[in-house]
Structure 1
Amino acid sequence: MALVQGLPQIGRKHIRRKAKFLLHARRIGDLLKQRNLGLKATLLLATAVATSSCSAPPASAPTGTSQSNSSASSPSATNSSEPATISPDPRPSQTSSSSRSIPESGPSGYADTPSSVTTEKAGKILSLADFFEPDSSWTENRFDVADKSEVSGIAAQVGSYGQQQTLELRLANNFNTLTMKIGQANDSKSSDKMLVIRVLGNGKQLDVQKIPFNTVQEISVSTKMVNALKIEVTAEDAENRDSKSVLAVISNVTVR
């Protein structure tokens, strides 16, 4: 300071100006340093925040990621080579209400026959299905009988020694007469036996006929107030008493 006071007036002004300039320059430098440090700190802080935010998973990611990873590593994934097994449904299957149940076959191998002949059958030729629970020995087909070929009828084998075949109709007291034709088929094992036909109504004999080979016999009986009508067929032994059978054929059975 003493040195400055000893200088000329012009020199002192110059030194003071220079000192002020240096002081202002120092202050500016300090401010720039402070600002520079602040900027660097701000940049460092922003970089740290950005880095941490990029490295951290999003809030909803853990659940979805864990689920996808678990599904990918699960042994039951769709890429498994093992075929899927289908367990049967324990519940009973249900059929359509529109479907009909098939009736069980009776002892004769036919579906259950009606309990009685309906009045709509009056005047029509009856079939084996119209008889009440026919035995399985009776069959329905076409046969040659005497001079008649391809006769549509109901037949059964009848042997010797009292063998008997029976057919039954349930008429429900609705008809007055029954007619039918009976003969021995041309391919019967025996041609020497007499065919015996016995017709019963409610347990009472209505008619009995003996029919030889090569003959077609027509039978007509009254069925008024008859419910159970039975046709019993046997073969009368021949003189030689052979064991050969006769094929009895009943055709054109009608009720009126």
Structure 2
Amino acid sequence: MSYDITLCPRDAGQSWEDALAAADAEDSGREADEQALTEGVETFRRIETRLREVLSGELETWVAEETGGDVYGELTAPRTGIQVELFDGSAAVSLGEREPGEEPSEDSGPDRAQVLEEARRAVGIVAAETGYQPFDHQTEEPFDGTFREGAPGAEPAEATAGQTGIARPSAAEIARRDPASLRRRGWVYLVLGVAITVFAANRLASGESGVLTIMLLVIGILDLLGGLFLLSVGRRAAEDERIRLGGPGESGSGPDAAGTTPG
């Protein structure tokens, strides 16, 4: 199970249901806005800098490098199970919840009190940097700085659809599996591969056959192969998504797919 806190803008008198729905609404205009991406990444970097002062253990981070998604950055502390994500219009802090009767072991990392204190401070940092208000999904009330583990209504991460949880794929993984992102990365690799391969070939043609030239040639060929692979994976992912959403796929063409009989 996981304990989830969502942070989002909330106007005076606005219900949390409306505030969370507004934060979760897709905004394709901002997703394609380079300035919004730059500002979002800058905010995440400020959050990351402050989190490194309060979270224990090694930290893993990921930041968006291109437009087309609503995830600006993600930070995970494997030792404590704390995860922080910044989205376009909201943020989330989550941590794995201790199971009933579970006792800490010598190699389990910080004690639970320290983990909860670090998570509480993480929520405060994200709120301060974004101006968002925190909402506790376990109590369905504004987060007051207290983690009420085992609270009535707490559900496994798989059951809290649309909210951040340790059990679901990370934002970075979701972004990397996006068909459009895969295609863009594929074309980047292809262009780099062509440029490096041509450069290396010109060096070979001029008689420069040293180690550097061979390395450049190998890198160029690998980039070409990687680009072709990503384009292929992107096409398959797009086809799978069309099938999942019920749209026509490549296998959906033809007379039988339309429900008619020839003749």
TM bucket (normalised to shorter chain) is under 0.3
Structure number with higher strand proportion: 1
Greater Rg, structure 1 or structure 2? Answer: 1
The TM-score with structure 2 as length reference comes to 0.21
* TM-score, scaled to structure 1: 0.21
